[in-house]
Chains A and B, each alone.
Chain A
Amino acid sequence: MRLLGLSRKDTRFLLIVIFLTMATPILLQPFPEGSGLATFNAGYPDLMQRFAIFGIFAIGFNILFGLTGYLSFGHAAFLGVGSYTVVWMYKLLDYNVVYGLPLAVAVSAVFAVVIGYVSLRRSGIYFSILTLAFAQMSYNLAYSVLTPLTNGETGLQVYGNDPQVLLGATEANSPHFFGWVMNDNFWEPVIGGWKFTFNNGYYFTAIIAIIAFYVSLRIFRSPFGLMLRAIKTNQTRLNYTGINTRPYTLAAFVISGMYAGLAGGLMAAMDPLAGAERMQWTASGEVVLMTILGGAGTLMGPILGAGFIKYFENIFSKINDSVLHGWFGFLPDGLEDFLIGVSHFFVGKSWHLTLGLLFMLVVVFLPGGLVEGGQRIAAMFRKKSGGKDDAAHQPKPAPHVAE
């Protein structure tokens, strides 16, 4: 079957992604409520929304970094710009995200054109530092002197005295898409001990994420994408082949900036508050880590990386002593205390440590990122079952060349 101009392989790939995305509320709830392992369930709306949103962010970032090799350390700036735009639309018009989201993409595109035009005059680490400098300036200013525009530390939010000129009398008082209220759940079945939450906001972001993924798939397979990959491998040859690389890199930069703006806008669409810290360098660094961790230059990698990091941030940080007692309570006291003591290093307040260790392990043992891990497992199964070569979830393994 071929769909929407995709090859058979890609169609299957897209369908798998659509299936996984749509079934997320079920797949991420593997443990029954109340069981000791329910802590590891991630199928609640906020986290699912975050998976989708940061997936979009990372997919977009990958178009720049994964394809062209230009490592931007300032993409969080666009995330912030997108969020602020959407919240401002709430404040000025009303809570319908239909105004804010397209505008968020447009505004971040404008920012990306300016920052990209300047930064792309340099390459390598000089480019990275230029983008970092722009983003840090945006963050520092948003946090302090631009407070009238950004509400600074508190974060931009809607106040009762905001104009909201389009707000109807019966309209929802929280973000919605023509009445499809993001915070609402349309179905909350309880099956056995399992509880599933089907949330409006999640499906809204999920559909946008699928579209974003489809667009990125098309870009990967397009002549434009081919040129971007060529830029990464040999820019000199490309120039002598008659290609002007600057507009290509700028286009990639702007497209990824728009993805970031969209992700930022969606963050505000799910949660109508935009904090300045989402523009900080750590946030820019986070998307870099997501992309590398998952596998830069691969289609699925950035999404996996985004999920991985967000999962740790939201799930591991919540494991506290009482949860640990719940797990180890059946053991003899001495052993229980010992295990809890050891766990202290890795969960709860120490979740960063686990994340850091996993970064190191992945990069040491899986140079191609999580995607490579997936491929190895798939290869193992293939060997066992002797099945035919399956479609890899990427155009080609991203080769690693020194320098």
Chain B
Amino acid sequence: MSKTNFTRRGLIKTGAATGAGLALPTIFTSGAMGFTNEPTGSTVKLGFNVPQTGPYAEEGLDELRAQELAVEHINGIGDGGMLNTFSSKVLDGTGILGKKVEFVTGDTQTKSDAARASAKSMIEKDGVLMINGGSSSGVAVAVQSLCQDAGIMFMAGLTHSNDTTGKDRKANGFRHFFNAYMSAAALGPVLKNVYGTDRRAYHLTADYTWGWTQQESIQASTEAIGWETVNNVLTPVGAGDFSSYITPVLQSGADVLILNHYGGDMVNSLSQAVQFGLRDAMANGKQFEIVVPLYSELMAAGAGDNIKGVYGSMNWNWQLTDEGTQAFVKSFGEKFGRPPSGSAHTCYVQTILYADAVTRAGAFNPCAVVEALEGFEFDGLGNGPTLYRAEDHQCFKDVLVMKGAENPTTEYDNLEIVEVTPVDQVIYPPNHPMFGGDEASLGECNDGA
């Protein structure tokens, strides 16, 4: 078989398949066009920019699964998933505004530079109108500001730092995922119930922006319930062995350890804390406890038995029983043979929300989409009634407080839902000091024209 022949045949075939619906990208501000990457053919392209290499690669792959599913549902393939339960009914399975949705994927490598390079290639080469995905706040902020400058939409994936919709908020960027403040606000009352008000907390914090905002938030909310903060120790990212940070904890007079870590760092610090006997120890006459403010399924799986009984929070979990969740889990589970993770959920929802907003606005112009999303209230996407707040483009919805399950039956239910904290308890004013105060501003929406 000759290789040249082989590729040429492929070329002709695919050329015919997509040629008709050619959507030529126009790049950035180039004058004559209406707005960046205005779709002219019968298709519209979205960009899914997720980590495919590096420590968060699994999360990225799960996001990709969900995004692929969302595109199918929007294009009318499959069972429709959460489109059936979504309170807005404008999406009818014929794509977006009659244009079939296509997507391109890229690798963020969980590095701002690589993520921006990948996003730029999507914008410049593939002509995408919206970028979605990601698994860290640094990347989210970096890509968000790029999308703002380029004049396309950014629908954040997993990003938990307050900054994304705080001091780094942008008009073209929207976040469905919850944030450090909301995690802390939800956890506070629950921790008060289970561990009481007389506790002394020791923080280990990943030494970078997300870690700091997480720590700041949880410290504020635990102090609000009367806890004392003994110490806050910053640990290098990717430290691997946290022993030298863990050993001083028991001597410090603390009786709670709060791990402001994520990903591999959290898996290691939690496992090692358990290894050092912290969960079995008694301090100040009380059982020593560990809290992990932000959980994810993949982290929980990595930490294994060590998470048993450890409290944390999540944006969403497949074990919720509402209609939307059930529809999504069913359609995801049937396609991929596993329940979706929280990061998958948020990417799915963000893609649906974007498609819906475009349809409601009746236009792809990002400024119209922004307007459609701002202040949008919806339900049926798994988190109950939700508001996309206009002031900072943050979604407000209930927050899940989770606990490591004592007796998981499968590899997917090692976390259990302890409480669904109502949205009222986690809401905050848009000019909250942790969110950039009065200075924080979305700026003007940019359509690249």
Q: Chain B residues near A41 (CB, 8 Å)?
A: 125
If A154-B141, A188-B30, A271-B116 touch, whether A44 touches B208 (CB-CB below 8 Å) is no
Q: Is there contact, CB below 8 Å, between B105 and A44?
A: no
Interface of B is mostly: helix
Q: Chain A residues near B209 (CB, 8 Å)?
A: 147, 151-154
**Nearest CB of A to B75, in Å:** 12
Tell yes or no: B181 within 8 A of A by CB: no
Of the listed stretches B5-13, B330-338, B408-416, chain A binds B5-13
Q: Is there contact, CB below 8 Å, between A277 and B113?
A: yes
Once bound together, how far apart are the Cα atoms of A317 and B106, in whole Å? 6
Q: Chain B residues near A277 (CB, 8 Å)?
A: 111-113
Tell yes or no: B281 within 8 A of A by CB: no
Q: Which residue of B lies closest to A42 (CB)?
A: B125
**Nearest CB of A to B252, in Å:** 22
Interface string of A181-210 (1 = CB under 8 A from B): 101110010100101010100000000000
Of the listed stretches B21-29, B317-325, B399-407, chain A binds B21-29
CB interface residues, B 303-336, toward A, < 8 Å: none
Once bound together, how far apart are the Cα atoms of A156 and B236, in whole Å? 20
CB interface residues, A 274-301, toward B, < 8 Å: 275, 277-278
**Nearest CB of A to B237, in Å:** 7
Once bound together, how far apart are the Cα atoms of A151 and B281, in whole Å? 39
CB interface residues, A 333-364, toward B, < 8 Å: 348-349, 351-352
**Nearest CB of A to B234, in Å:** 7
Of the listed stretches A3-11, A324-332, A395-403, chain B binds A324-332
Interface string of B30-69 (1 = CB under 8 A from A): 1000000000000000000000110001001100100000
If A155-B142, A277-B111 touch, whether A349 touches B14 (CB-CB below 8 Å) is no
If A185-B27, A278-B113, A318-B105 touch, whether A45 touches B124 (CB-CB below 8 Å) is yes
> Which residue in B9, B18, B112 is a CB contact (below 8 Å) of A326?
B18
CB interface residues, A 138-197, toward B, < 8 Å: 140, 143-145, 147, 151-155, 157, 159-161, 174, 181, 183-185, 188, 190, 193, 195, 197
**Nearest CB of B to A163, in Å:** 14
Once bound together, how far apart are the Cα atoms of A50 and B114, in whole Å? 11
Tell yes or no: B107 within 8 A of A by CB: yes
If A36-B10, A44-B27 touch, whether A273 touches B17 (CB-CB below 8 Å) is no
**Nearest CB of A to B25, in Å:** 8
> Which residue in A140, A184, A318, A320 is a CB contact (below 8 Å) of B118?
A318
**Nearest CB of A to B239, in Å:** 11
Interface string of A297-329 (1 = CB under 8 A from B): 000000000000000011001101010001111
CB interface residues, A 106-165, toward B, < 8 Å: 140, 143-145, 147, 151-155, 157, 159-161
If A41-B125, A330-B13 touch, whether A155 touches B141 (CB-CB below 8 Å) is yes
Tell yes or no: B439 within 8 A of A by CB: yes
Q: Which residue of A lies closest to B29 (CB)?
A: A184
Once bound together, how far apart are the Cα atoms of A190 and B22, in whole Å? 13
Q: Is there contact, CB below 8 Å, between A157 and B145?
A: yes
**Nearest CB of A to B428, in Å:** 21
Q: Is there contact, CB below 8 Å, between B15 and A185?
A: no
> Which residue in A199, A275, A314 is a CB contact (below 8 Å) of B121?
A314
Tell yes or no: B298 within 8 A of A by CB: no
For chain B, the bracket of interface size reads 35 or more
Tell yes or no: B92 within 8 A of A by CB: no
Tell yes or no: B19 within 8 A of A by CB: yes
Q: Is there contact, CB below 8 Å, between A144 and B208?
A: yes
Q: Is there contact, CB below 8 Å, between A154 and B168?
A: yes
Tell yes or no: A34 within 8 A of B by CB: yes
Tell yes or no: A37 within 8 A of B by CB: yes
**Nearest CB of A to B180, in Å:** 14
Q: Chain B residues near A161 (CB, 8 Å)?
A: 439
Once bound together, how far apart are the Cα atoms of A93 and B10, in whole Å? 53
Q: Is there contact, CB below 8 Å, between B30 and A329?
A: no
Q: Which residue of A lies closest to B108 (CB)?
A: A317
Q: Which residue of B lies closest to A199 (CB)?
A: B27
> Which residue in B64, B112, B163 is a CB contact (below 8 Å) of A275?
B112
If A154-B137, A318-B104 touch, whether A34 touches B22 (CB-CB below 8 Å) is yes
Q: Chain B residues near A174 (CB, 8 Å)?
A: 149
Q: Is there contact, CB below 8 Å, between B27 and A154?
A: no
Tell yes or no: B434 within 8 A of A by CB: no
> Which residue in B9, B11, B30 is a CB contact (below 8 Å) of A35?
B11
**Nearest CB of A to B402, in Å:** 25
Once bound together, how far apart are the Cα atoms of A267 and B103, in whole Å? 27
Q: Chain A residues near B105 (CB, 8 Å)?
A: 318, 320, 348
Tell yes or no: B70 within 8 A of A by CB: no
Q: Is there contact, CB below 8 Å, between B11 and A37?
A: yes
Once bound together, how far apart are the Cα atoms of A272 and B116, in whole Å? 11
Tell yes or no: A103 within 8 A of B by CB: no
Once bound together, how far apart are the Cα atoms of A281 and B205, in whole Å? 23
Q: Is there contact, CB below 8 Å, between B142 and A275?
A: yes
Q: Is there contact, CB below 8 Å, between B52 and A155?
A: no
Q: Chain A residues near B7 (CB, 8 Å)?
A: 36-37, 327
> Which residue in B112, B124, B138 is a CB contact (below 8 Å) of A197?
B124
Once bound together, how far apart are the Cα atoms of A146 and B356, in whole Å? 42
CB interface residues, B 197-233, toward A, < 8 Å: 207-210
Q: Is there contact, CB below 8 Å, between B149 and A44?
A: no
Q: Is there contact, CB below 8 Å, between A154 and B30?
A: no
Interface string of A25-68 (1 = CB under 8 A from B): 00000001111110001001111001000000000000000000
**Nearest CB of B to A10, in Å:** 33
Q: Chain B residues near A143 (CB, 8 Å)?
A: 207-208, 237
If A144-B208, A155-B142 touch, whether A36 touches B106 (CB-CB below 8 Å) is no
Interface string of B124-165 (1 = CB under 8 A from A): 110000000000111001100110011000000000000100
Q: Is there contact, CB below 8 Å, between A185 and B146?
A: no
Q: Is there contact, CB below 8 Å, between A348 and B29?
A: no
Q: Chain B residues near A348 (CB, 8 Å)?
A: 52, 105, 107
Q: Chain A residues near B168 (CB, 8 Å)?
A: 154
Q: Is there contact, CB below 8 Å, between A140 and B124?
A: no
**Nearest CB of B to A116, in Å:** 25
Tell yes or no: B443 within 8 A of A by CB: yes
If A320-B105, A349-B52 touch, whether A35 touches B15 (CB-CB below 8 Å) is yes
Q: Chain B residues near A314 (CB, 8 Å)?
A: 117-118, 121
Q: Is there contact, CB below 8 Å, between B14 and A35?
A: yes
**Nearest CB of B to A212, in Å:** 21
Q: Which residue of B lies closest to A201 (CB)?
A: B28
Interface core residue of B61, B112, B114 (most chain A CB under 10 Å): B112
Q: Chain A residues near B279 (CB, 8 Å)?
A: none
Once bound together, how far apart are the Cα atoms of A145 and B234, in whole Å? 10
Once bound together, how far apart are the Cα atoms of A151 and B138, in whole Å? 10
Tell yes or no: B120 within 8 A of A by CB: yes
Once bound together, how far apart are the Cα atoms of A195 and B30, in whole Å? 15
If A153-B210, A318-B105, A330-B9 touch, whether A183 touches B28 (CB-CB below 8 Å) is yes
29 contacts between A and B (CB under 8 A): A34-B15, A36-B11, A37-B7, A41-B125, A47-B125, A143-B237, A144-B208, A153-B112, A153-B137, A154-B142, A159-B167, A160-B443, A183-B150, A185-B30, A193-B19, A197-B27, A271-B116, A273-B112, A273-B145, A314-B117, A314-B118, A317-B53, A326-B17, A327-B7, A329-B17, A330-B10, A330-B13, A348-B52, A351-B107
Given contacts A34-B22, A151-B209, 20 further A-B contacts (CB under 8 A): A34-B19, A36-B7, A36-B11, A45-B124, A46-B120, A47-B121, A47-B125, A153-B136, A153-B209, A154-B141, A155-B141, A157-B142, A159-B167, A161-B439, A183-B29, A188-B27, A275-B113, A318-B106, A327-B7, A348-B105
